[in-house]
Amino acid sequence: MLILGAASSAWIRAQNPQPASDASPAVTAAAQSLPAAIPSITPKVEAIMSMRSQKVASAAAVPAHKQNYEFTVSSGDWLDTGVVLAAGEIADFTVTGSLTLSDNRQTTADGLDRGWKDLIRQFPLNQAKVGALIGRVSDMGASVPFSIGASGQVTVPTTGKLYLRANTSSDLTYTGQYKVKVKFAPAPKFNTNVLDTPSKPISSLLGPDNFSDIPRRVSDTPSGEGNPGDMVNFALIGTKAQVEAAYKAAGWVAVDKSVQDAIVNGLLKTLSKEAYTEMPMSTLYLFGRPQDFSFARADPLMVAAERHHLRVWQTNQMVDGRPLWVGSATHDIGFEKDQRNGGVTHKIDPDIDKERNYLLDSFDAAGVYSSAAYVTPTNPLLEAKTATGGSFHSDGRIVVMALK
């Protein structure tokens, strides 16, 4: 059983050799005539206080907690333990008990290897085994769960509440329970200088002028004279290693570079009964060259039609001794008719600021940036049309994050 089948076929049908907005080429004359900016908008920099900074802004925000807890996991939803943890704390888990799944399989907290039917199920943590105990910190929708198992030590990635559950899908109910014992090392002393305060805030590192020579949109041709595509809506300050590490920690995966790579990778993962989420995306251009990185977050069964995805380019600018990267992030929400040729193409969420903020939230939940800000450049892009005739809109701001 090759799970790539329907998803790959749908994805390949949606591809086009000259996409402008992930699988979207040519912009209509009407789209090209849209105003690219509104002069009344003032270029500016607005500092962003991360959720974890808000939570640890005072000692009271992370109340002292006991060093030992016991919890019972016995339902298919996340268990809110009510315990607020500080970033950097170390938690030791010991788990006993067992579950009987609705398909009569029995498992402990270490979980079971996936069977063929599990490949068509959506799990909270695709990398974990079936029925394994997993956890997450923070109730942010973009937070990334982590594996625990029958015993494990976890360094808390960010500040927030601890949640626990078994790694089961909505159709895979169970009876039984896990008894979870958690022992914490002494909580680290609150230290804003170490935890969340960067050596220099974004506002002192860059401003609207840094984006004066950066195109507002990507293109489907190296010359930049082709069809405009997605909006440049985020920027990162960091080394290549920091960029890759940040995306990995925040739950994003580097996608396959070609259909051939996808077929091989998907086949190998299917044979290994692993979820496949690295579906390739089209090549777009900025500064006359293709993206340096392509990342995505998606559920395995929905990856062909719906996924969070983005492209990243390194600029020729250095900020505080580190490279400045820029990129475009959009959210595929299904398929639509290509108005140019009647074919099938991806439809993006027209409110693209939501995807920009999803990226920010995912990095925030993973605790991978030290400072962030919204930058409104001169000539901000507020609305435009994709090549296929669909419109998108924005407040024109670019989110900038200085990586750790």
Does residue 56 sit within a domain?
A: no
Residues 38 and 87 in one domain: no
Residues 205 and 300 in one domain: yes
**CB-side neighbour CA atoms (13 Å) of 394:** 32
Residues 119 and 17 in one domain: no
pLDDT at 360: 95
CB atoms within 10 A of CB 116: 10
Q: Which token pair is 335?
A: 């398929």
Q: What is the mean pLDDT of each run of 10 residues along the chain (404 residues)?
A: 39 42 38 45 89 47 85 94 89 97 97 89 90 89 89 87 94 96 73 49 92 93 84 97 94 72 52 57 91 83 68 97 96 66 69 95 90 95 78 95 95
- Tell which of 189, 216, 240 closes a domain: 189
Residues 30 and 106 in one domain: no
Residues 236 and 376 in one domain: yes
Q: Which domain holds residue 155?
A: 62-189
Residues 204 and 347 in one domain: yes
Residues 305 and 274 in one domain: yes
Q: Which token pair is 318?
A: 């250095």
**Cα separation of 325 and 115, whole Å?**
41
With a CB cutoff of 8 Å and minimum separation 6, the contacts of 326 are 211, 214, 232, 234, 235, 236, 286, 312, 313, 315, 398
Residues 242 and 380 in one domain: yes
Q: Give residue for tokens 């990185």.
A: 293
Q: What are phi and psi of 156, to 5 degrees?
A: -65, 125
Does residue 88 sit within a domain?
A: yes
Residues 35 and 156 in one domain: no
- Whole-prediction pTM: 0.75
Residues 91 and 182 in one domain: yes
Does residue 57 sit within a domain?
A: no
pLDDT at 28: 37
Residues 385 and 292 in one domain: yes
- Tell which of 154, 189, 224 closes a domain: 189
pLDDT at 103: 95
**Cα separation of 366 and 244, whole Å?**
13
Does residue 125 sit within a domain?
A: yes
What is the domain count for the chain?
A: 2
Q: What is the largest CA-CA distance in the chain?
A: 65
- Among 43, 97, 403, 375, smallest CA distance to 248 is for 403
Does residue 259 sit within a domain?
A: yes
**Cα separation of 130 and 72, whole Å?**
18
Does residue 165 sit within a domain?
A: yes
- Tell which of 159, 189, 219 closes a domain: 189
Does residue 300 sit within a domain?
A: yes
Residues 375 and 339 in one domain: yes
Does residue 147 sit within a domain?
A: yes
- Among 267, 289, 288, smallest CA distance to 276 is for 267
Strand-by-strand arrangement of the 289-290 sheet: 228-231, 217-219, 285-286, 289-290
